[in-house]
Structure 1
Amino acid sequence: MNIETRLLEPTTEGLTTAADILRAGGLVGFPSETVYGLGGDARNDRAVARIYEAKGRPSFNPLIVHLADLEAVSRYAVLGDEARRVAEAFWPGPLTLVLPLRPDSGLSELVTAGLGSVAIRLPAHPVTRALLRAFDGPLAGPSANPSGKISPTWAEHVMTGLAGRIEAVVDGGACEVGVESTILACDPPVLLRPGGIPSEALEACLGVPLALGGDADKPSAPGQLLSHYAPGAPVRLEARARQGDEVWLGFGHDCAGAELNLSPSGDLVEAAAQLFHLLRAADVLAGGSRRIAVAPIPDHGLGRAINDRLRRAAAPRP
């Protein structure tokens, strides 16, 4: 499929056009506080199938459903007491909850990959929320990039990866958080993917330590595939210095000579926001013949999400 992809402004006119495209079964790239998503009507089998087609995504990998408000959640999922406590503390925001699916939800089975649960998020980005209100329905929205490649944090990243495959992209500027949402299953609480909400904050809310879950072979939530978020160049982690002609992606002030630095001051928030953008920049510098080396990242707070993405970027390619 090769279609004209329109770049829409986040105005009333632009969002109305985007909502009309979605209602007609089309696909729209949209901004969020985490990364850009690829939106389609979560009730429309054909629209969801087109998401998989546009991304080249394995059909066994479930999608996140984006909703405008907490009241809408009960139409599609069962929100227990524990899940509600977490939702009220962190929604809207970069948190996805995996909840029991209502049998009469009306969601496409392709969204849930045939599972009895559904991943739901209430995004905080004002443009996303305005689009959800204009569309007035559940929006399936994985990251708006070819499957397994670097996630997009600018509208131009979406255009580079998906132009000709989708109808439009709403340009909402750069994403603030820069890594995908944290994914949490409840009853009992299990961390399925680290992300924009640090696990320490979730543990403080729940009053219990989080178990770790996830299966790269049979994902129960998005972002669990072993090789994911990958640039074209091979990636070496924990690089305290450059080897040979590597492109060195630094972190902190001890990386003199690094071509790029996620945060010269060692700020994990800045590093998360810069991660995918600078991985793309490093891939360009690598030019198809050099390796990317990434400096060590502290493994706490947002550092856990950054390291999760880096480990998947460095994993053996399928």
Structure 2
Amino acid sequence: MALFFECGDPDVRVDAIRSAAFAVSNGELVVLPTDTVYGLGADAFDSTAVADLLRVKGRGRDMPVPVLVGSWTTIDGLVSVVDSRTRDLIEAFWPGGLTLVVNHAPSLSWDLGDSGGTVAVRMPLHPVAIELLEETGPMAVSSANRHGQPAAQTAAEARAQLGDDVAVYLEDGQVRGGVASTIVDVTGGRPQILRLGALDADTLREVVPDIVGGAAP
């Protein structure tokens, strides 16, 4: 049976993070709060766990799983080179609602789906998520819902959809934003907005003026 923790209680939260990290290390799935929506997560480097995440979601390998990280510096271990524009975006908007699509280092032993050598990476602005990621390292995380169903705004909503397919649920109330992250592709010559969400194009251009896409004039 899945474990369900109310992380608003500081004492419960310590046990909750410990239990969730243990589950992740054992190849199990967990639900965690983020600043956008609740996420369904697994060890990013455990291909069996990632495949299980896709199965539970009802998604195919053609929809690779994004990765959440717990610090700015983690990106340096995931890609071969971080250029100046990418670094500027990270320093301006992480943690927060910006997902960056990067070329991941060829040496990484992970399988997030048919990603073509790229990975979508974000650092969430949520203390529970950060505390868990500090324990687990990078996690493959998708929205906590069955494919085609609404993204969960609470862990209880996620449990109603996912049930015992998840080992640990971390509840921390309804997400404040409830808006998906903005996605920017930095694999080419100029950063390109793939999806607008928590950050608008004008805000991004204050940091990287030559970014393309979105609400560009």
TM-score w.r.t. the length of structure 1 is: 0.63
2:96·2:123 contact (CA, 8 Å) conserved in 1? Answer: yes
1:217-236 matches, within 5 Å, as: none
1:112·1:118 contact (CA, 8 Å) conserved in 2? Answer: no
Question: Which residue identity does 2:54 align to in structure 1?
Answer: Y
In the alignment, structure 1 segments of 5+ residues that lack a partner are 213-299, 301-318
Match of 1:165 in 2: 165
Offset of 1:8 from its aligned partner? 1.7
1:237-256 matches, within 5 Å, as: none
Question: Percent identity among equivalent residues?
Answer: 32
CA offset digits 1:204-262 (Å, max 9, x no partner): 211125225xxxxxxxxxxxxxxxxxxxxxxxxxxxxxxxxxxxxxxxxxxxxxxxxxx
Offset of 1:79 from its aligned partner? 1.8
Offset of 1:116 from its aligned partner? 1.3
Match of 1:68 in 2: 70
Offset of 1:63 from its aligned partner? 1.3
1:34·1:179 contact (CA, 8 Å) conserved in 2? Answer: yes
CA spacing shift, 1:146–1:61, aligned 2, 3 Å: same
2:68·2:140 contact (CA, 8 Å) conserved in 1? Answer: yes
| Structure 1 outlier segments of 4+, above 4 Å | none
Instruction: Work out which structure has the larger RCO, using CA pairs closer than 8 Å and 6 or more positions apart in sequence.
Output: 2
1:25·1:44 contact (CA, 8 Å) conserved in 2? Answer: yes
1:276-291 matches, within 5 Å, as: none
Offset of 1:193 from its aligned partner? 1.4
Question: Which residue identity does 1:82 align to in structure 2?
Answer: R
Match of 2:17 in 1: 15
Match of 1:184 in 2: 184
Question: Which residue identity does 1:7 align to in structure 2?
Answer: F
In the alignment, structure 2 segments of 5+ residues that lack a partner are 8-12
Separation in 2, partners of 1:194, 1:57: 22
Offset of 1:100 from its aligned partner? 1.0
1:70-89 matches, within 5 Å, as: 70-77=72-79, 78-89=81-92
Separation in 2, partners of 1:209, 1:88: 16
Match of 2:153 in 1: 153
Find the residue that maps to 2:89 and give its secondary structure: helix
Separation in 2, partners of 1:179, 1:63: 18
1:285-300 matches, within 5 Å, as: none
Separation in 2, partners of 1:63, 1:195: 18
Separation in 1, partners of 2:92, 2:211: 17
Match of 2:10 in 1: none
Offset of 1:151 from its aligned partner? 0.7
- Higher Cα Rg: structure 1 or 2? 1
TM-score w.r.t. the length of structure 2 is: 0.91
Offset of 1:112 from its aligned partner? 4.7
Match of 2:38 in 1: 36
Offset of 1:19 from its aligned partner? 0.2
Separation in 1, partners of 2:64, 2:200: 22
Q: More strand per residue: 1 or 2?
A: 2
Offset of 1:114 from its aligned partner? 3.7
Q: Report the count of equivalent residues.
A: 207
Find the residue that maps to 1:183 and give its secondary structure: strand
Separation in 2, partners of 1:141, 1:114: 15
What is the root-mean-square deviation of aligned Cα atoms in Å?
Answer: 1.4
